[in-house]
Chains A and B, each alone.
Chain A
């Protein structure tokens, strides 16, 4: 679907969160790394909503607490200490992280604050053991030019990353503590972006600035984009956690699509004359309709003493099945809301009936019990009475919102670029001073020192890559936008090997391997360097690089030389190569006689298939050509 974004009044603001590659975490001396394997430490906590001066607590937070949610934390001693466990006060703010964020601020022409104050932003979903995220403003204002348009930068912040969620059961959520406390820099733009494509370009431009510092982490999960998207007639929607740059564009597009479709549903409801007071609020017990049901989900719930509750949605027939965005129907939205507020597994609705083992007769029974006309839809849930009731009350509330259009909410991005309901939009963030961490005075001397050591701006960098290493423009750009620029420069300085080969490998080759599903991010820098050393010193040919990398991604603890040996990619001695070429020539004498140099192609293919990775193509090609000439210049014996 193509939209006229201008006419729709699209406004997008971007929040880019990028992990910094500091020596230690933001508030303690732990390594800013993740651990694999079994946790050494497990503990269980609850987080209690705190009251503000006004006696208010965050509604969603209070709700979670009342549900009796407990949080299971997992940690290991390498990546977590008592600070992450909230058993020791935070240490002072990591200066290295502060300086990197100030550097970014200066590159974005932002004004560093005179004194940095760390705040506690209340978050009680368990992602922070403290119940708040420590965060601070480092600079305000600033500007970034993207294709001639000035994008205002509102805020440059520094904050601790949250623990990572690794599981969820009915009443317990599991988090790993390793990620908690990794420094994150946050760059927020004004809401001036007016198309999905522009959103991607702005994200890219911010990413370039961040990477230019040489102090950012790389790999999946190290950068997350939050989007604030609004349409003139729609609502302000916050989409959290877009991980890939390519997805930014889709996320905006799909959100526009979703809002436009929700507005169409509103128009349709208006046309059907549905009014708010027509919509039922209280669910009805329809268990008797399903007493002998063949539907497994329902019979299972009933056998556990559950009930089937139903809610009539007057005038909604056909709308629940309507697609809002790829793989997202209006019914999906209702289901997500039911899950969040009722803790149920899901919902059934008449737009997908008969199905899931529910028969036509049962649906008829349901409709007649609720006094439905064919224009009405029914949503029903099988679970404990309490949960089903909460779930359907939330569905009823959401259905009423559909009459108004698009409700404001916070959504979470899916890897495909669509988004799912996450929670209601929180009220103004409640923030308190983090009194355990002393403020940092940002002195003029510090700013001057950082200003003198600013990294190259992206355009200057591009020119230098082309001039210094002879890379073409496209490759230079790719390299700049990859996470490997630093490594590229280190390898080229250290190893005698063609810069273009290194650049191609670190961009195109790695990307294509990643597309094949390989975990190339797990290949460490020193391994990548070793690969080029082996090529540079002639141990293996450059053609073997993709195979070596693929092997290394599956064997992260092995060396590049191990890879060469395991894959039998050691370069052939010249006599051996000559023997293979001669053998091929002997077999193809007839062809050479008939076609002369025309036989080169097939011969090259045949030899390379035998020696790929063990000899470079240039040498093979020279040998074959030499032999063809020899044969041609020999007088025909006939």
Chain B
């Protein structure tokens, strides 16, 4: 892992820590109060706040998770070089696109 990736992974962890807590609180709140899917969508649709919140979450998680997966692959399989970088770029884009698509749909 390069120092750049290392720092990026720590920074995204720093960004995600409060987001995860809020996300968990939201889950607990939504399930405890028995909000229906319509009620939830009613609150998220058109909300700049939730679009920004989960948009940032998706970007940070995609970066953080890809660097982590890359490290696991390097250590467990010994895979290195351009092929690995390309595969990781694809993984990152897939997570990013799927995540952002979900954010766009519910907000």
Q: Do A and B come from one complex?
A: no
